[in-house]
Each structure stands twice: as structure tokens, then as C-alpha cells.
Amino acid sequence: MIGTDARVLGRVVPAATLAITMLGLSITGGRVSVTYAQATPPQRASSTALPDTFGFGRPATPDAIAKLDIDVMPDGTGLPPGSGTVADGAQTWGRFCRGCHGPEGEGGSAAPLVGHDPSGRPLTVGNHWPYATTLYDYINRAMPRTAPGTLTPDQVYGLAAWILAKNEIIADDAVMNAETLPAVVMPALGRFVPDDRRGGPEVR
Amino acid sequence: MMSRSDRRTTSRGRLTRRALLAGAAGAIGAAAVAPVSGQQAIETTRRPGRGPSEIDQRSPFVTPRRAPSATSSRTPLQDLRGTITPADLHFERHHGGVPEIDPTRYELLIHGLVQRPTLFGLADLKRFPSTSRICFLECSGNLRRGGPDTLPQMVCGLTSQTEWTGVMLSTLLDEVGAGSDATWFLAEGQDAAVMTRSIPMEKAFDDAMVVYAQNGDALMPGNGYPVRLLLPGWEGNSSVKWLRRIELADRPFMTREETSKYTDPLGDGSTVRQFSFVMDARSIITDPAYPRVIEPGWHEIRGLAWSGRGRITRVDVSTDGGASWHAADLQAPVLPKAHVRFRYLWHWTGGPGEIMSRATDETGYVQPTWDALREVRGPRTRYHQNPITSWTVGSDGRVLFGAERLRS
């Protein structure tokens, strides 16, 4: 069947296109889809004009969005109510974190989080994290490793406070909440530069 | 020679296959079984084979395997001959394990700077105009500098190629009415890492896809079943698997993966390259390679080349450690942002040699040496390492990884 189609197609499509279709997946009813992705990206269906909308899917209610919209941005957008102290964080650290990250955050089976070496050896929150809010976002979504997403906002704020204090970025009596966490200026903030690789002969 | 006890015969007076094989093996030692010319070609015709089955399996004589670690598994590049990676051998890199997702309860949420925040079920996504595209996917941490006994799989087996099928992300964004003020979008997975990356909207309207099929079949669980993002040519981590949410915004979200990970400390000791998405051109010889032992005579040097910036235009091969280079043949079709096969016919006369490949892409970028990379980036860049690699060939024919080239 495919052999027959290929002969038919062989008269009308370029060799390269034929070679792709011979991978066997874009021949339908003896007709080849010439909008095949490899030809000229970007690839939009071109056989008929697209409707303004297809009407597929269902509207997402504010409740449905709130359930999943857990991200936190550098300006604090997304941070929930709650707060935590360095001492609160020390307690939570002992229960959930020290086993992998070490008693003082020096690292273990998981990455070190505490360290000030400005040359970045090793890479830590103290020398390589540009935004304090990323601590909240990441701990809340992905930690602790064996039970991610189970910490309360107060526990996450406390852990952020403890990690920041250990890195000597905030004072030991600081309290982290939706206002104070985004205000923390991280040592690594000014270090990040956009990718300047552009292809071409120069290696960057 | 066969001993008397090996001379087991059938009722029709012929030697049995087992007796023949045992005798042959005994004659040349246990290391190899010498073929008895033509015997097998007759034997398999003497009884019916197995019937059709619901799903095929590889021959028991063929056992390609990924090389798994705690967080990844590497494609056996040395065992593959084409450009499409079988789905069950596609590399994996996970950050929170492989979730088991019920497709009937799966939904993709698109919200943020859009006119119509929408939830799409799997069936909804499949109703949109579909697109298929062959492209590679490579982890940006895809270099291991092992010793001489390093397989191609271990050097850079975190790259694979697939025919992906899905819907263009631009189609979905038109459907929800993407705001013109949106400059970035967040892609979020529903794995235990709840993986998140910020992606520029330019990529969304260029060639980004939301895919649900891998080589025509449903995605494998380790590659995002039921739905993943696909960003052709970009580092694998940004093609978020198990995609549950896309949020449009007017700035990047600065997630952990795009700040503390997947960023590149540069040689000046103070700056860190961020949002370094594109995979630069690269190649590797997959045969002959460790652990092969070759004989003098003709050998086709074969390998893969690819670039995240477009088409590979040229692959050069050296058989003298880079002193001279020769253009290799490229196997058509040469697709943009895709693995391409190259080959170069080599007559090995038996002396020590070193074979290596160097890819050039349509932007004019030439795959650099390790030393050149180190010179411009310093010693601490972990991702986006795409150096020329080599295999040394000893006078005894043993092929070993050219570890010395990556030593500094």
C-alpha cells in the first residue's frame, strides 16, 4: 500500500519530502500532507482558513486557576499570607531538610545551600541565587523530596529565613513574609547576563 | 575436532545442531562459536516459526539498553543505525521521578495574560490541527568526560530524536487570545518536581509545540505522557514534560531551574549566562568507538551531527588527530534542528590513529575544541559543553575514547 502511494507521490513531491513521508506517518488515504513540519517552520495548517476560535476546551474559573497557580515572582506576586522566623526555619530544617542538605546546609546527598565564596565554589544560595523569592517558590513546589508540596506557608517562610540567615544575607532575628522576602537583595543579583550566543563563526 | 561423544545424531542420521555447535566451539575455544556455513539458513526452514502477536519484541539476540542513573538514562548511541530513536530508548532526565497520569483526568491550563483562560483535556488537544516534526532533544548537561573505556552512550547519550506529533502552541495561544503584552510564558509540569521554566513568547510563536505523540505512538511515561512541551533545538529541560499549566506574563518568573541551575558561570569569574536555551552544533562518531576492536582494511566511520540553530551543513572527519580534515557524506534528509547521519570511508592500514568529527551548521558555527570552549567560558561552565571528541585506535585495533582531549 505504501509502496503504491510512494510511486504516486514520487511524481509530485521533492525527493527530500518523499524521504520524510516514507518514514510512514504522513500518508493518509494516498494523499501526502505538504504542510509537513519539516518543510518550512513555523508550521500552521494551511489547507483551509483557521477559524477565529475552535471552541475546544472549557473556561477555567478563578477557583480552578488558583488551585494550580502556585508560582512566586521576584516582586512577590504569588506569595501567600503567613510568616516564619529563622528559629522556626531551624526547626523545620531539622525535621525535613538536614538529612539530605546537611545540618548546616553544607550539602550531603543533595546540593549545598550555604556558602559565601564569591567565586562560586560551590554554587549556593549565598553566591548564585539572584532572587530570594525563588526559595519560596521552589521549596513550596518541590520540597521536601519525599513529600513535596506538604509544607505550610509558615514553614516555607521559616525555611527561607533560615537559609538566608545561614548565608548571612538577613539578620538572625528577621521575619520573612510576603512583604519582607521580595525586599531581600541577594548577593548574586547583578551577576546574571542574557545569553549572548548567536550562532555564526564565533564561539561564545 | 569433534570427540566421539559429540557425534549425536538424529534419527535420520544427521548431526544435531547442538552437537555441531558444541564441536565447533570446542575446536576454537569458548570465546566464540564459529558459524557452520549455511546450516542455520536451512534449519529455520524446517519448522514453522511463531505466529503473529499483539506486540513485537526485539530479537533475543538484540539487547540495546539505556544506561540509567538516579536521575537520567542515556540512549545507547552506539547500538543505533538511523536518526530516529526508538521510543523505549529515548533518554530520560527527571527531577522528581515519572508520574503516572490518568489521561481521562488530564487537563492543560492556559491562563495569565490571555483573554479566555481555558482548560484543555487530552481529547481537546487532539482535535486541534495537528503537526508532526522530526527533531532532536538534548539535555544541556550532555557531556561526560570519562576515561578511555567510555562508550558513546556515556559521552553524550542524553540526546535522542523523535517524530513528535501535537498542536502548535501558537494555535492554542490564538484560541485563548494571548495578550500582546505577554513577553514570557511559564511552563509547568505535574511531576513531583512541579518543573517550571520561563520561555520567551517569540519561541511560542516560532516553532513551539504541545505534543502528545512520540514516533506516532502515545508519549512514553518517561517522556511526558500524556502531554509535553516541545521546544525544537532548545535544551531539553525547557521542553517541560507532563505539562499541566502555561501562564503568560510580561516578565520571566525566575524559577530555580533558570537561576540556580541551567545557567552558565563564565570565565570572568563574576557573570553567569542565563536563559541559554539553544543547543549549539555538535557531532560524535558512534562507530567505530569503544569497545570495538577493528581490523586493518576498510571502515565506514559513522556518527551523528546536530544543531539547535538549524541544519547541519557540513561534517568534517579527521583520522589523524586533527592534522587533516575531510568532508563526510551527510545522509538525506538533512532536517533543521535534527540529528543527521554522517559517514566517511576510511582505510585503516594498522598504525595508531585518532578519529574525530567536527560539525558546521547553517549559521557558520563550527563545533569547537574543548580547549577553545574553555578559553572563552572558563573552567566552571557545566552546561552546553559541545566539544569535538575523538576515539584513538591502537596498533592492536583497540578503539578507546580520546579522554586526553578533554583533560585540561
pLDDT digits (tens, 9 = 90+) for A5-44: 333 332 333 333 333 333 333 333 333 333 333 334 444 5
What is the C-alpha separation between B381 and B265, in angstroms, rounded?
5
Instruction: Look at residue B11 and tell me if it is in a domain.
Output: no
In a shared domain, residues B257 and B319 = no
**Cβ–Cβ gap A68/B251 under 8 Å:** no
- For residue B379, the one-letter residue type is P
Same domain as B250, residue B168: yes
- Tell me which chain A residues have a C-beta less than 8 angstroms from the C-beta of B119: 57-60, 64
- Residues whose CB falls within 8 Å of the CB of residue B238, separated by 6 or more in sequence, listed in order: B187, B197, B199, B229, B231, B277
Is the CB of B256 less than 8 angstroms away from the CB of A74? no
Quote the CA–CA distance of A37 and B266 in Å, as a whole number: 36
Among A42, A128, A197, select the one facing B278 at the smallest CB separation: A197
Q: Give A-chain residues touching B373 at CB under 8 angstroms.
A: 203
- Does one domain contain both B132 and B240? yes
B100 and B247 share one domain: yes
Using a pLDDT cut of 70, give the percent of chain B over it. 91
Distance CA B319, CA B346 (A): 8
Q: Which domains does chain A have, with CATH numbers?
A: 2-32 (no CATH), 62-191 (1.10.760.10)
Helix (H) or strand (E) holding A202: none
In a shared domain, residues B150 and B85: yes
Q: How many CB pairs under 8 A join A and B?
A: 201
Nearest residue on chain A to B213, judged by CA atoms?
Answer: A25
Domain that holds residue B375: 282-406
Q: pLDDT, tens digit, for every residue of B248-273?
A: 999 999 999 999 999 999 988 889 99
> pLDDT by residue (tens digit) across B182-196?
999 999 999 999 999
pLDDT at B407: 86
Q: Are residues B206 and B293 in the same domain?
A: no
Residues B238 and B288 in one domain: no
Residue B356 has pLDDT above 50, yes or no: yes
Q: What is the pLDDT of residue B17?
A: 43
> Is B132–A26 a contact, with Cβ atoms under 8 angstroms apart?
yes
pLDDT digits (tens, 9 = 90+) for A165-191: 999 999 999 999 999 999 999 999 999
Q: How many domains does chain B have?
A: 2
Residues of B whose CB is below 8 A from A141: 193-194, 196
* pLDDT number for residue B2: 37
CATH code of the domain covering residue B77:
3.90.420.10
Average predicted confidence (pLDDT) for chain A: 82
Q: Is residue B387 part of a domain?
A: yes
Please state the rounded mean pLDDT for residues A124-141.
Answer: 97
Q: pLDDT at position A32, please?
A: 32
* B330, part of any domain: yes
pLDDT at A47: 61
Peptide bond into B226 cis (omega under 30): yes
Cα nearest neighbour of B268 on chain A: A119
* Contact check, Cβ <8 Å, A130/B206: no
Task: Convert the pLDDT of each residue in B130-150 to its tens digit.
Answer: 999 999 999 999 999 999 999
- B266 CB neighbours in chain A (<8 A) are 193
Residue A50: per-residue pLDDT: 82
**Residues B121, B178: one domain?**
yes
Query: What residues pair up with A129 in beta bridges, in sequence order?
Result: none
Structure ipTM:
0.88
Q: Could you give the CA distance from residue A200 to residue B360 in angstroms, rounded to a whole number?
A: 10
Which of A138, A146, A189 to mutate to test binding with chain B, by most B CBs within 10 Å of its CB? Answer: A138
pLDDT at B34: 67
Predicted confidence band of residue B179 (pLDDT cuts 50, 70, 90): very high
Closest-CA residue of chain A to B366: A201
- Contact flag B274-A192 (C-beta cutoff 8 Å): yes
Domain boundary among B262, B295, B316: B262
pLDDT for the residue B32:
56
Residue B9 lies in a domain: no
Instruction: Tell me the C-alpha distance between B332 and A103, whole Å.
Output: 57
**pLDDT confidence of B214, banded at 50, 70, 90?**
very high
Q: Report how far residue B271's alpha carbon sits from residue A128's, in angstroms, rounded to the nearest whole number.
A: 10
CATH number for the domain spanning B312: value is 2.60.40.650
Taking residues B288-308, report their average pLDDT: 98
Residues B118 and B239 in one domain: yes
- Chain A contact probe: residue of B95, B119, B262 with most A CBs at under 10 A: B119
* pLDDT score, position B25: 39
Asked, for residue B62, whether it belongs to a domain, the answer is: no
**CA dist list (Å): B24 to B3, B5, B12, B37, B41:** 11, 14, 21, 12, 17
Claim to verify: residue B163 and residue B128 sit in the same structural domain: yes
Minimum CA–CA partner of A193 in chain B: B273
Decide if B269 is inside a domain.
no
Tens digit of each residue's pLDDT (9 = 90 or more) over A145-167: 999 999 999 999 999 999 999 99
Confidence of residue B219 (pLDDT cuts 50, 70, 90): very high
Nearest CA in chain A to B338: A38
**Residue A23 is nearest to which of B163, B272, B377, comparing CB atoms?**
B163
Of all residues in chain A, what percent carry a pLDDT higher than 70? 76
Assess if residue B168 is contained within a domain: yes
Nearest chain A residue to B252 by CA: give it: A73
Q: To the nearest whole angstrom, how far is the Cα of A51 from the nearest Cα of chain B?
A: 9
Cα–Cα nearest to B26, from B44, B4, B11: B4
Contact B255 A70 (CB under 8 A): no
Taking CA–CA distances from B208, the nearest residue in chain A reads A42
Where is the domain boundary, B209, B229, B262? Answer: B262
pLDDT band at B95 (very low <50, low <70, confident <90, very high): very high
Q: What is the pLDDT of residues A44-98, one digit of tens each?
A: 555 668 899 999 999 999 999 999 999 999 999 999 999 999 999 999 999 999 9
C-alpha torsion B347→B351→B357→B358, nearest 10: -110
* Position B226 in a domain: yes
Whether the Cβ atoms of residue B350 and residue B318 lie closer than 8 Å to each other: no
pLDDT value for B33? 62
Q: Do B296 and B199 reside in the same domain of the chain?
A: no
Over residues B55-73, the mean pLDDT reads 97
**Quick one: B255 and B295 in the same domain?**
no
Shortest Cα distance from B273 to chain A (angstroms)? 5
CA distance A14 to chain B (A): 11
Q: B217-218 and B228-230 as β-strands: parallel, antiparallel, unpaired?
A: unpaired
